[in-house]
Amino acid sequence: MTEPQISSLRKDFRVFRDPGFLVTLFLIGLLAAVGALILVLASSEYGIPIRQFWP
């Protein structure tokens, strides 16, 4: 008996379930959050304070 055909779109999107992709996505998100926090704290200290506008 032959197995059902897997669509090429499903094969293409399978990469998003790969553990390496998920770890990389998490690390990039974490770095972006830390960078945003550093920018907000630095601008509150040395520039126009935006902390009061950003909860």
Instruction: Indicate the residue type of 54.
Output: W
What would the pLDDT profile of 19-42 be if each residue is shown by its tens digit?
888 999 999 999 999 999 888 888
**pLDDT computed for residue 26 by the predictor:** 96
CB-CB contact of 29 with 22 (8 Å): no
What would the pLDDT profile of 7-25 be if each residue is shown by its tens digit?
787 877 888 888 888 999 9
CB-CB contact of 22 with 15 (8 Å): no
CB-CB contact of 50 with 40 (8 Å): yes
Rounded to the nearest 10°, the torsion over CA 9, 14, 15, 16 is: 100
Chain-centre distance of CA 14, in angstroms? 18
Global confidence as pTM = 0.62
For the chain, domain boundaries = 8-46
